[in-house]
Structure 1
Amino acid sequence: MSSSGDSFFTIKSLREQVYDYLRFQLNEGKIRPGSFLNLNEISMELGMSRTPLRDALFQLETEGFVSIYPRRGVIVNTLTLEKIRNIYEILGGLESSVMVHIALRFRESDIDIMEKCNSQMRKALDQNNYSVFCEENLKFHNVYLDMSDNLEILHYIKIHKERLYDFPRNKTFVKEWELHSLEEHKALIELLRKGDFNGAAEYIRDVHWSFQVQERFIRKYYFAKHSELDVSEEA
């Protein structure tokens, strides 16, 4: 394939360009959740006219990242406790559904990969490396999610995880929560090794993605003052 063909397939969509820009600005502290966006500035920064910019923002609005108010502007949505509750319920339902439907595709080698991801998460936690911890956590879940042929489900899972983790990304640990996650992963791996995929699906829905089970950690991670968090990753 020619180099021009390669570049064609790596071009990001307008939605991705605007999303990446807003995520970067949020993580740099240049804009904050609840603030209005300067569309002229974004248009200039991205070299994008107002019409495609508005189209991209309309898509981000349908996904819950921003809200558009006629004659007022575009505001970056704040992640409230109620929104987190709803997202957890959605993710629990979707991921558990995937687990049931891909059961016959699972191999021991896939479970081995999940176990390796969990070990890497533990190592990252010991090293206070939050970025690697998050990456390995996503890889752990993607072992079974990537087996699904249901692109609609995978699309919505991706959007909701972006909403939870990246808009903006919290660069701090709640170490007790991370340790609980590691133990939950071990319990899930044990169910999979036994071939209990229905049990694994229920565990994903009723424990791992249960708002009630995770609420005390969620409150600390998303809403506690920075000084109350356990570990901060060094820049």
Structure 2
Amino acid sequence: MRGMVNKKKTVQKKISRVARDLVYNYLRKRMQEGEILPGNSLNLTELSEHLQISRTPLRDALIRLEAEGIVTIYPRSKVIVNKLEKEDFQYLYEVIGSLENTLCIRGMPHYTASILDEMEEVVKEMRKSIYAEDIQQYDILHRKSHDYFLTVAPNLFAERILVPVQNRLWDLPRRNFVQRWFLDGCDEHDLIIRALREKNETDLRYYVKERHWDFEYNKEHIFAIYFH
């Protein structure tokens, strides 16, 4: 009997976790697509009815989003999507640049020729999506290109810090599309891959931290895309 009770509890936990992840991904997707904007208030009753779930997984998903700085939960079930101010971008760029730089350098011995070839193919597909102005496909490929830094030499501690910060930045809806800036980013990815292939730590640090994730270097385009 005790075994059956424990099994039932395990199943219930799995169902609750699936429901929580469903809500979390649904809300992030709506934010990415600009359907939920910074400053918006979330109607919890409407969300619960639309997704046909109870308040528990909804609450759990919102707690996770609040931990990532995406929303703020107030008393009486009031939830506001946080705005990202201009000065916040510098912090995000510095955090991501520092962590990705460390991951790349420490993981350098693990980047085989086949992995680097895969990464180059992803960058080629990124360029195609930019020229086609298929931003949704670009976003998928762009995330994939950065995921290599976490998967080639995984570090759970770094992942727990890095992924929420990346999500905070990349989930923000864009107001403009600056093709040249996105293409420049692809060029930087190629240079990072070349540095990894050549095991050149100096170039790798420069292209990751001082170019790709340097706030001052990218500031003009950041403001043009997200604020104008």
- Asked if Structure 1 and Structure 2 have the same fold, meaning a TM-score greater than 0.5 normalized by the shorter chain, the answer is yes
Tell me by how many angstroms 1:101 deviates. Answer: 1.3
- The match for 1:230 is none
Distance change (3 Å), C-alpha of 1:180 and 1:11: farther
For residues 106-185 of structure 1, the aligned pairs below 5 Å read 106-168=111-173, 170=174, 173-185=177-189
More helix by share: 2
**Alignment partner, residue 208 of structure 1:** 212
The aligned amino acid for 2:124 is S
TM-score, with structure 2 as normaliser: 0.83
How far is 1:150 from its partner?
A: 0.9
After the TM superposition, which residues 13-28 of structure 1 pair with which residues of structure 2 at under 5 Å, given as runs? Answer: 13-26=18-31
Deviation at 1:142, TM superposition (A): 2.2
Where 2:53 maps in the other structure, the secondary structure is coil
Q: State whether residues 113 and 197 of structure 2, in contact with CA within 8 Å, keep that contact through their aligned partners in structure 1.
A: yes
Pick the aligned partner of 1:193 from 197, 208, 214: 197
Would the aligned equivalents of 1:130 and 1:172 in 2 still touch at CA under 8 Å? no
Using structure 1 for the length normalisation, give the TM-score.
0.81
Counterpart code for 1:94: L
Q: CA deviation at 1:123?
A: 1.6
TM-superposed deviation, 1:57: 1.4
Q: Distance in 2 between matches of 1:49 and 1:139?
A: 33
Distance 1:17 1:118, change over 3 A: same
Task: Say whether the 8 Å CA contact 1:130–1:171 is kept in structure 2.
Answer: no
Report matched runs for 1:52-63 at 5 Å: 52-63=57-68
Structure 1, unmatched stretches of 5+, are 1-7, 225-235
SS at 2:42 equivalent: coil
State the AA in 2 paired with 1:213.
Y
Q: Which runs of 4+ in 1 moved over 6 A?
A: 8-11
State the Cα distance separating 1:200 from its structure 2 match: 0.8
Aligned residues: 216
SS in 2 for 1:48: coil
Comparing 51-60 with 210-219, greater Cα deviation is found at 51-60
**Paired-residue identity, %:** 36
